[in-house]
Amino acid sequence: MSSDHLVRPTNADPRLIDLPIFGQPLPGGSVPGPLTPPEPPRAPTYDETDVDWGVVASLRALASKQLSQAVSAESSRLDKTAQTELGRAIVLDLIESTMADRVNGGRRAWSPVDQAVLAQAVFDSLFRLGRLQPLVDDDRVENIIIAGHDNVMLELVDGSLVEGPPVADSDAELIDFLVFLASRSEVNARGFSEAQPRLHLRLDGGSRLAAAAWVTPRPSVVIRRHRLMQVTLADLVERGMLSPLLASFLRAAVRARKSIVVSGCQGAGKTTLVRALCSEIDEHEAIGTFETEYELHLNELGRHRIVHAWESRPGSGERGADGRLAGEFNLDEALIDSFRFNLSRQIVGEVRGREIWAMIKAMESGTGSISTTHASDAVAAIRKLVTCAMEAGPHVTHELATSKLASTIDLIVQLDLTTERAADGFQRRRRVHEVIAVAPGERETGYATTHLFSPDAFGTARATILPEEYRSLDSYGFDLNSFLSEQQVLS
């Protein structure tokens, strides 16, 4: 076949197969007819062949070095797409040269499938999540729980827990990859070392990674995938997470600009519920989100026209005279800046410590803020938030923290997570357990609580008591008559 009848995209790798151009004569005068469009190439899976992960690690190190040198040599900065294509070419070159060395040394050549899988593994290690990537790409997997390189559990979207494959050949290799993963982020690189033994990282696609090493017997990693991104309260009703009546109450509370804290244990579905609550905010309202790591992704969902998303930054290097690391940016600073952005709502993400004051400031502005925190029950969430507020320093007394929270929080929605033994393993179930109203109260506690929805015998929140001030929510769509009917039945 002559070169006149070949088509090769200008950006194609020369190792790709040449194809005849439709409509041009081939040697001998024949003209090719329309070709059936080829199916999209399928990414090889790692279980198609035995992958030598030691070779992958060494090739990744070489590719990373060559890529860094090539990028540094460029007069202008390469964008991410250009770096990815350059990295792909470097990986292919390294595999070719490595295979040539193997053959010259008298070893077996890799088959085409071996080469394809090896190239994908090196590319994933260089630009993606390495051996974790197939798990993250699996639509059945919601959370990945790792307690050592060969001790992996997968929580599936149906709540079941199953064993997963090893994600490294040793704990040391897993730690090495986490260090590499933390350092390569263009947006928000994080340190991970014996001096900084914990890691919180936002991954491409919206997943969140938390890791610890050197202070744990084995490296511990949890990757939380957010499968329910476009989610509404109606969707959660269908999944059995809450009743239609409670959904109507929460929908009305959001529209009435009540300040809400969603609490629960780890993995109970707090972020998912906050997303559903935010879906009830009018699409034309300007929203600001404030998070230590992006999880809500309201700015990417397309539901709201204007979403300004802030993410804190831990900083690195030496501490300055003020005790802060260079480049540090906290949620307090983000919230102060946000008051110049004409926001209608301020949504503060997870509250674990001093960021509670960002939440309090947002709620004091009366915009109908929403936040999350970890707690065993709704009343315990108040005590937890008081402790968080007092972490700001000795100038914050228990009385001050309590009075601030009692006057700013309207509702606390408590989620429950149970793990039950099933026929083929374990099953997790998430549901709203209780809802309480918070108000300034007794001198002894500093606050008063009313259980609007309490758990029934099955742990699902049911109507209990409705204070007079919440009856007006019927003007926002709350089904008041159904609440009073269910309340009478329970009584």
pLDDT of residue 127: 85
The answer to whether residues 170 and 187 touch, using CB atoms and an 8 Å cutoff, is no
Please give the biggest Cα pair distance in the chain: 99
Q: According to the per-residue pLDDT averaged within each range, which of 313-317, 328-332, 482-486 is highest?
A: 482-486
pLDDT of residue 340: 87
What mean pLDDT do residues 86-107 have?
87
pLDDT of residue 47: 58
Q: What is the DSSP string of 350-418?
A: EESSTTHHHHHHHHHTTS--EEEEE-SSHHHHHHHHHHHHHTT-TTS-HHHHHHHHHHH--EEEEEEEE
pLDDT of residue 4: 37
What residues does 156 pair with on adjacent strands?
141
Do strands 160-163 and 425-440 pair parallel, antiparallel, or not at all (unpaired)? antiparallel
pLDDT of residue 246: 96
pLDDT tens string 343-378: 899 898 888 777 788 788 878 876 788 999 999 999
Whole-model pTM: value is: 0.69
Among the ranges given (22-26, 239-243, 299-303), the one the predictor scored with the smallest mean pLDDT:
22-26
pLDDT of residue 358: 78
Helix axes 112-127, 53-73, angle to 10 degrees: 60
pLDDT of residue 76: 54
Is 12's pLDDT higher than 50?
A: no
Q: Residue 461 and residue 454: Cα distance in Å, rounded?
A: 5
Three-state SS letters, 42-66? CCCCHHHCCCCHHHHHHHHHHHHHH
Q: Residue 474 and residue 249: Cα distance in Å, rounded?
A: 9
Q: Residue 159 and residue 338: Cα distance in Å, rounded?
A: 38
Q: According to the per-residue pLDDT averaged within each range, which of 133-142, 352-361, 423-432, 450-459 is highest?
A: 450-459
Q: Among candidates 232, 343, 355, which has minimal Cα distance to 293?
A: 355
pLDDT of residue 287: 93
Is 463's pLDDT higher than 60?
A: yes
Is 5's pLDDT higher than 80?
A: no
pLDDT tens string 261-283: 999 988 888 989 999 999 999 99
| Sign of the four-CA dihedral 386, 392, 396, 397 | positive
Q: According to the per-residue pLDDT averaged within each range, which of 39-53, 62-76, 286-300, 315-329 is highest?
A: 286-300
Angular region, 366: left φ>0, alpha ψ -120 to 50, beta rest: left
What mean pLDDT do residues 431-447 have?
87
pLDDT of residue 185: 61
**Cα–chain-centroid distance for residue 90?**
30
Residue 210 contacts by C-beta under 8 Å, 6 or more apart in sequence?
Answer: 198, 199, 200, 201, 221, 222, 224
What mean pLDDT do residues 425-434 have?
84
Is 471's pLDDT higher than 60?
A: yes
Q: Residue 159 and residue 421: Cα distance in Å, rounded?
A: 11
Is 322's pLDDT higher than 80?
A: no
* C-alpha to C-alpha distances, 280 to 107, 138, 233, 341, 467, nearest whole angstrom: 63, 30, 8, 21, 23
Residue 424 CB neighbours (<10 A): 8
Angular region, 74: left φ>0, alpha ψ -120 to 50, beta rest: beta
pLDDT of residue 46: 60
pLDDT of residue 479: 93
**Cα–chain-centroid distance for residue 335?**
22
Letter for the amino acid at 25? P
Query: Could you give the 3-state DSSP secondary structure of residue 483?
Result: helix
pLDDT of residue 223: 92
Q: Residue 174 and residue 219: Cα distance in Å, rounded?
A: 8
pLDDT of residue 77: 67
Q: Give the residue, 220 or 82, on which the prediction is more confident.
A: 220
pLDDT of residue 234: 94
Residue 288 CB neighbours (<10 A): 27
Q: According to the per-residue pLDDT averaged within each range, which of 87-96, 174-183, 215-224, 413-422 is highest?
A: 215-224
Q: Give the residue, 449 or 11, on which the prediction is more confident.
A: 449
Q: Residue 262 and residue 371: Cα distance in Å, rounded?
A: 6
pLDDT of residue 30: 46
Q: Among candidates 176, 189, 213, which has minimal Cα distance to 60?
A: 176
Q: Among candidates 375, 393, 391, which has minimal Cα distance to 383?
A: 375
Among the ranges given (27-41, 301-315, 395-409, 416-430), the one the predictor scored with the smallest mean pLDDT:
27-41
Is 470's pLDDT higher than 70?
A: yes
Q: Residue 124 and residue 101: Cα distance in Å, rounded?
A: 23
pLDDT tens string 229-244: 788 999 999 988 999 9
Among the ranges given (9-13, 174-178, 237-241, 343-347), the one the predictor scored with the smallest mean pLDDT:
9-13
